Amino acid sequence: METEIAENDFIQRYDLYGCIQCGKCTGGCPVSLKSPLNIRRLVNEATLLDPSEAAQGKADLIGDCTTCETGTLRCPNGVKPSEVVIGIRGVLIEQGEMPQTVQEALESAFTKGNPFGRAKNKRAEWAADLDVKNIADGDKADMLYYVCCEASYDPRAQDVAKSIVNVLKTAGVDFGILGNSEVCCGSEMRRLGEEGLFEELAENNMAQFNDLGIKHIVTTSPHCFNALKNEYADANFEVQHYTQLVSNLIDSDRLKFTKSVDKRVTYHDPCFLGKQNKVFDEPRNILRSIPGIEFVEFDRSHEKSLCCEGGGGRMWVDSESDANGRQSEVRVRDAAEMGVDIIAVACPFCMLTLEDAVKAEELEEKIQILDISELVNQAL
């Protein structure tokens, strides 16, 4: 079983000899301010110890990481600390040590194609009245709109999917969805540590994309976008986040605004769009193009944007560190101080965490969380 030993060797797999223990990762890690999870020490242990020893006793703590990749961005030697976190989670999963909520999410993604335990044949219910092409049913379209599990099933995120559909239709984009045949991209499953499940989902998705001849995909979620773009092997399609497409549509005059949105708006960079994929300008271009919007930046923006803690599997993990406050709450407090009316988001996870934070901070009267696509819709 030589291959297995190599697979389990963190040093080789994550090139850990590059780590000089400088601590820049922990220094920038937003979670380290609230959780005892110390990413530098974790990488050190992963280097010195056998993977199962490194994982020992970490079942609770390891869930705190949001895999925002701030540490990866700051590492001077190209080490990826968040990948070490994922590796340790993988060891724990093989040992059966995971919260029940995580187990259910993984099982549901495996059997039902979404991590929420929802019925596959209700996935496209949100689009029932929208007259959208269904490529899996044989409709032909230039582009696949890949909706995402969150936007398919969560009522608030469904609004985002609906508004993206309306924006694309208004601009005359020829697109379709996969309807009930859409399957989870696996991004969150991978970050929960279930690499095998991610590979399985990716293979199934690739097979479906190839069968249907899909060459161009646009996504709701930066998480699906990142997975399809960077983690699907042998992808032979172009993938865009919807903000990239919409920004182009505006620049090429295919999308014209007729109304004004007279609000003070800031933008919260999603980690998986900004930090991890350097898509900073397109969302801002859209917001700046909408008549009436007074755009202001967060102090912590672009690469330094504060993670909302919605990703990296955090959706299914209750972190004890939340007793010390949530980063999403810090974010909306900052926004309140800036006097903005709206925090624009471009990710379903950010939408949900920030909306919860607005309620927790009792700022409902002052601040609204809206997806960029919803603001575009208001101005059409």
Residue 11 C-beta: closest distance to other proteins, Å:
20
Give 171 or 189: the residue with its C-beta nearer to other proteins.
189
Give 197 or 246: the residue with its C-beta nearer to other proteins.
197
- Long-range Cβ pairs for the range 321-324 (8 Å, 24+): 321/31, 321/34, 321/35, 321/36, 321/37, 321/64, 322/34, 324/34, 324/35
Give 194 or 282: the residue with its C-beta nearer to other proteins.
194
Give 74 or 156: the residue with its C-beta nearer to other proteins.
156
Residues in the chain: 380
Residue 364 CB neighbour total at 10 angstroms? 10
Give 71 or 115: the residue with its C-beta nearer to other proteins.
115
Residue 106 C-beta: closest distance to other proteins, Å:
6
Give 132 or 286: the residue with its C-beta nearer to other proteins.
132
Q: Is 120 exposed, middle or buried (0-12, 13-18, 19+ CB in 10 A)?
A: middle
* Alpha carbon distances (Å) from 61 to 258, 305, 310: 50, 23, 16
Residue 159 C-beta: closest distance to other proteins, Å:
11
Looking up tokens 């974790």 gives 42
Residue 116 C-beta: closest distance to other proteins, Å:
9
Buried-state track 280-309, b at ≥16 Cβ within 10 A, e below 16: bebbbbbbebbeebeeeebebbebebbbbb
Residue 370 C-beta: closest distance to other proteins, Å:
15
Give 117 or 292: the residue with its C-beta nearer to other proteins.
117
Give 86 or 197: the residue with its C-beta nearer to other proteins.
197
Say which DSSP state 231 is in: I
CA distance 121 to 312: 27
Looking up tokens 């990239």 gives 244
Buried-state track 142-181, b at ≥16 Cβ within 10 A, e below 16: ebbbbbbbbbbbbeebbbbbbbbbbbbeebebebbbbbbb
Binding residues vs other proteins (CB under 8 A)? 93-94, 96, 98, 100-101, 103, 106-107, 110-113, 117-122, 155, 180, 194-197, 199-200, 318, 359
Strand 143-146 to strand 216-219: parallel, antiparallel, or no bridges (unpaired)? parallel
Give 50 or 107: the residue with its C-beta nearer to other proteins.
107
Closest CA to 42 of 78, 86, 97, 93: 86
Residue 343 C-beta: closest distance to other proteins, Å:
19
Residue 134 C-beta: closest distance to other proteins, Å:
12
Residue 186 C-beta: closest distance to other proteins, Å:
10
Q: Is 197:110 a contact under the CB 8 Å cutoff?
A: yes
Residue 4 C-beta: closest distance to other proteins, Å:
9
CA distance 300 to 280: 13
Closest CA to 166 of 238, 242, 251: 242
CA distance 110 to 104: 10
Give 40 or 112: the residue with its C-beta nearer to other proteins.
112
Residue 57 C-beta: closest distance to other proteins, Å:
19
CA distance 189 to 102: 9
